Amino acid sequence: MIEQKLGYKFKDRSLLETALTHSSYANEFSCPSNERLEFLGDALLGCMVSVLLYEKYPSHTEGDLSKVRSRVVSGANFARYAETTGLGKQMRLGKGEENTGGRKRESNNANAFEALIGALYLDAGYEKTFEVVSGLFRDAIEENDFPRDSKTELQEVSQSIFGQTPEYRILSEEGPPHERTFTVEVTIPSDLRGRGKGSSKRQSEQSAARDALRKLGY
């Protein structure tokens, strides 16, 4: 079931087996646990989700992206994906862990999911792992509480109507270095222009995009 959900069949079956092995089982049967794979998977997930957010939201700040990443890269989400891929049912647990509800424990499921991603990377490489992570995390990445991003909206509208992206240029910079005011103009095909001011280039571009959207009737 796990491989079916991932869309990938492991070449090295021992990697998948280890990803499913809780430390309690490893201690009882003297075999490797999934902790090292968990370490690797945790780093990979953080990196890959960061790439997905960076590509999905080109106009958002580092702070915005970090907030969303912290919600996406979470134990609760990982445990949910473990359930989706059938990990919980196939985890190898020691008797004590099994008898105390370890199979349903969120931390165990989340750790197993991280280990699975680590194992997948070692067996299949970066591209396949990124493909799997992209598919699993697509909805979580798109479900966010970002304020409406005018630059992104204007770009989508311009590409949809005119097949081209807007062009931004700085008209002026005023004020002392610690208190600059930028005036930006955005131009889209049909010679429609929007203008905006702000204390940073980003703010003034957003303001100009809002002005252009208003003129377009959005």
Q: How many CA atoms lie within 13 A of 41 on its CB side?
A: 27
Q: In this predicted model, what pLDDT tens digit does every residue of 39-92 receive, in sequence order?
A: 999 999 999 999 999 998 887 888 889 988 998 999 999 999 999 899 999 999
Q: How far apart are CA 56 and CA 139, in angstroms?
A: 12
Instruction: Pick out the chain residues at pLDDT < 50.
Output: none
pLDDT attached to residue 146: 66
* Domain spans of the chain, in order of start: 2-142, 150-216
pLDDT attached to residue 153: 87
pLDDT attached to residue 189: 82
* Catalytic positions, written as ranges: 42, 114
Contacts of 97 (CB under 8 A, 6+ apart): 22, 24, 25, 108
Give the DSSP per-residue string, 24-49.
HHHHHHT---SHHHHHHHHHHHHHHH
Are the C-beta atoms of 207 and 198 separated by less than 8 Å? yes
Torsion sign over Cα 118, 82, 104, 77? positive
Crossing angle between the packed helical segments 75-84 and 106-124, to the nearest 10 degrees: 70
Rg (CA), the chain: 24
pLDDT attached to residue 148: 62
Are the C-beta atoms of 60 and 146 separated by less than 8 Å? yes
Q: What angle do CA 153, 163, 169 make, to 5 degrees?
A: 60
- 150-216 — its CATH code? 3.30.160.20
Pick the CATH number of 2-142 from 1.10.357.10, 1.10.10.10, 3.20.20.70, 1.10.1520.10: 1.10.1520.10
